[in-house]
Amino acid sequence: MERWTLREFEAAARERLDPAHYDYFAGGAGDEITVRANEAAFARLGLLPRVLRGAAKLQTGVTLLGSRAAMPVLVAPTAFHRLADPEGERATARAAAAAETIMIVSMASTVAVGDVAAAAPGAELWFQLYLQPDESFTETVVRRAEAAGCRALVVTADSPVHGRRERDLRNGFLDLPEHLCCENMRDGDRVRPIVMSPELSWRHLDRLREMTSLPIVVKGVAHPEDARIALDHGISAIMVSNHGGRQLDTVPAAVDLLPDIVAAVGGAVPVLLDGGVRRGTDVLKALALGAAAVAVGRPVIWGLAAGGERGVASVLALLRAEVEQALTLCGCACLADLDAGMVRRPC
Ligand SMILES: Cc1cc2nc3c(=O)[nH]c(=O)nc-3n(C[C@H](O)[C@H](O)[C@H](O)COP(=O)(O)O)c2cc1C
Ligand SMILES: CC(C)CC(=O)C(=O)O
């Protein structure tokens, strides 16, 4: 069946997935106020198109930290892809490579990052990291990501503890089924749990900076002051994110956080955003407000569950086609033609 919108992919995924797994992917923390806000905030913003600008030749490519993407839509790091498809992250990476975009491999992937890279030659991979209180194990994981050819590390900073995911509590979904595990966490003949620790601080990030020459992106920045502090710690990019509403509930929508963070960063490093991006027009709004690119989390999972590698490829192709069409309708030839004056905030 042909699917015309991301919503149709979600409906197909929901039909195929174990209901507890669907809830894990779809759900968020607490009352899921932030989950809903992320999408609703995009819907509330309007786009003001420009006309008759002779913008014939479209250009949607971006270069981020030395990695090239054919469109400003990246694959956000999401855990447990083998719950959605037996090929899991291998399938996602192949589809990202075919779409010529960057996949941020989760530390909680169910295929080891080296195997993901091997399955998708030519894929541009970044690696998402939860800094571990045991820094020698953090280093082990960093070396795995480097050896796999990942071109940046994305440190998730919004998770000093796990969010309160009430769907998971109700469903008793607390761990992966026995045949799956977080493959990057192997340590000899055991698999370590991913530790979330409130003790982590910028000092840990400084030590990561000394550990690797890869560019470091801080993911999960919501407060402009933290964006400023990140710059003092030699960060290469900032990712505005509320973790898709899965950590602290009632954090404002990601796109509503964006302008203040862009202002705080003042162009020093690229600002990325994820949370609630479901349409090409959402991508344009984020870029017009100063994001260098966006990332999508759940839409990729819906594609994977609905149709494996082909499903993810279709989701990414759909987003690219929507970006191109919306850009043309906005009278823009390239992403740099977008500016904040083209976004109408609600009165
Ligand atoms: C099922 C699921 C698993 C996730 N796993 C991770 C993860 O392992 N690491 C991480 O930094 N963020 C994780 N995230 C958050 C995403 O990277 C991203 O911030 C969020 O999904 C963006 O919102 P969206 O789903 O509305 O696009 C996860 C999100 C979902 C939905
Ligand atoms: C394994 C989890 C920590 C992955 C995650 O970040 C999430 O489910 O949002």
Q: State pLDDT tens for residues 196-216.
A: 999 999 999 999 999 999 999
So what's the pLDDT on residue 2?
A: 74
Is the pTM for the entire model greater than 0.90? yes
Atom of ligand 1 nearest to the CA of 301: 1
For the chain, list the domains and their CATH numbers. 6-338 (3.20.20.70)
Report the DSSP beta bridge partners of residue 272. 239, 293
Give pLDDT tens digits for 233-245: 999 999 999 999 9
Residue reference for tokens 């609703």: 40
**What pLDDT was estimated at residue 3?**
84
Ligand 1 within 6 A of CB of 278:
no
Percent of the chain with pLDDT over 70: 99
At 30 the pLDDT is 98
The pLDDT score that the predictor gives to residue 54 is 86
Residue 347: the pLDDT is 58
Ligand 2 site-directed mutation target among 181, 243, 247, 301, most atoms within 8 Å of CB? 243
What is the overall mean pLDDT for the chain?
97
- 56 confidence band (pLDDT: 50, 70, 90): confident
Kindly provide the residue ranges of all beta strands, DSSP E only, lying in the chain, ordered along the sequence: 46-47, 62-64, 67-69, 73-75, 102-105, 124-129, 153-156, 186-187, 190-191, 216-221, 237-240, 271-274, 293-296, 343-344
Q: What is the pLDDT of residues 265-306, one digit of tens each?
A: 999 999 999 999 999 999 999 999 999 999 999 999 999 999
Point out the ligand 1 atom lying closest to the alpha carbon of residue 159: 11
| Average pLDDT value for residue range 129-144 | 97
Q: Band of the pLDDT at 1, cuts 50, 70, 90?
A: low
